[in-house]
Amino acid sequence: MRFPISLYASMTGYLMKKKFQGDDHYPLVLMLEPTHRCNLTCSGCGRIREYHDTLHKEMTLEECLQSVDEAGTPVVTVTGGEPLLYSHIQELIKELLVQGKHIYFCTNGILLEESLHLFRPHSHFTWNVHFDGTEPIHDHIICRKGGFQKALAGVRAAKAKGFRVSTNTTVYRESDVQDIEKLFVQLTAAGVDGILVAPGFSYEDVNGEVFLTRQEIMDKFRTIRTWTDRFPIISNPIYLDFLVGIRSLHCTPWGNPTRNPQGWKSPCYLITDTHYPTFSELMEKTDWNYYVSGKDPRCSQCMVHCGYEPTVVRQMTGKDLLRMIKWNINV
């Protein structure tokens, strides 16, 4: 299965609870960034641009756990920065598992193999390792020779110890679809449980040198979408329909709220206009209709999964649900 059945059960119960409560604006996944410190300087990283003056800061363990309680989501993505550099990472993961949360731990993989002894395999815990291409492409993007092999060794070591491992690939303007295909062959051979693939967000790429326009996204993903039977791709099929232009979706900017050392990031994981001290203030003070409508010019080329996959979950029909179940099983 592309996702564990326990995740489906937790998410279904959560969605039914929200529907019973009549709540239409609720998050699905908390993006928890306890630190923005990193051991890489990737060319496409928005966090380096946004938080260059506060990269040294980190959240306390208590702040992390309080934020998890505030959001109340069944899934927590622990990201950053490089979360393996967070001072209390072992305690954080242990406590989240005690709470029954499903954890996706996003890492560049450089420290993965040497950090595995700090954690134990668990059905609710998945490593999510970033790969942006085969070895020469990936190492060029992360500006570190040998980074690809280090991360791949971490993936293999994690699988050998019984961990669930998924990967995340961002597609840029310079990304070659044939190279991505070769990467997915390597990752599948390494035994990864899932491959997430999505276009990048343009941030302040005013010259258009790195990031894709919507038309360019559609052109590349028409090929990538045909690979779902060959590789364990976990970008869901309805979202992939959107990426190739055969389905229309509006963004759900509150679907994946972000908490970091500066506070609750508004309006979304990608755009930073301000930070709020509490989750309730984020939800009450952000003008969600403005961003959903697409009036903000920064949203014009965005097709990133963190905004649109929550829409798939919120708007799913019975036919969509059957398609998703079949897709999850057939891998």
Residue 300, CA distances (Å) to 93, 293, 295 in order: 36, 10, 8
For the structural domain made of 5-329, what CATH number should be given? Answer: 3.20.20.70
CB 148, CB 183: distance < 8 Å? no
Residue 329 has pLDDT above 90, yes or no: no
Question: ω into residue 46 within 30 of 0, thus cis?
Answer: no
Higher pLDDT, residue 330 or 221: 221
B/e letters for 262-284, b = 16+ CB within 10 Å, e = fewer, are: bbbbbbbbbbbeebbeebeebbe
- Strand pairing category for 194-199 and 164-171: parallel
318-328 residue pLDDT tens: 899 899 888 88
pTM of this prediction? 0.94
- Strand pairing category for 75-78 and 29-32: parallel
- For 36-47, what is the mean pLDDT? 75
CB 324, CB 12: distance < 8 Å? no
- 10 Å Cβ neighbour count for 204? 10
In the chain, where are the structural domains located? 5-329
CB 3, CB 328: distance < 8 Å? yes
- For 237-265, what is the mean pLDDT? 96
111-132 residue pLDDT tens: 999 999 999 999 999 999 999 9
For the chain, the average pLDDT equals 92
153-167 residue pLDDT tens: 999 999 999 999 999
Residue 209, CA distances (Å) to 51, 133, 150, 174 in order: 22, 18, 28, 8
253-277 residue pLDDT tens: 999 999 999 999 999 999 999 999 9
87-117 residue pLDDT tens: 999 999 999 999 999 999 999 999 999 999 9
Token couple for 319: 């036919």
The Cβ-side half-sphere exposure at 232, using a 13 Å CA radius, reads 20
129 three-class SS: strand
- 10 Å Cβ neighbour count for 248? 7
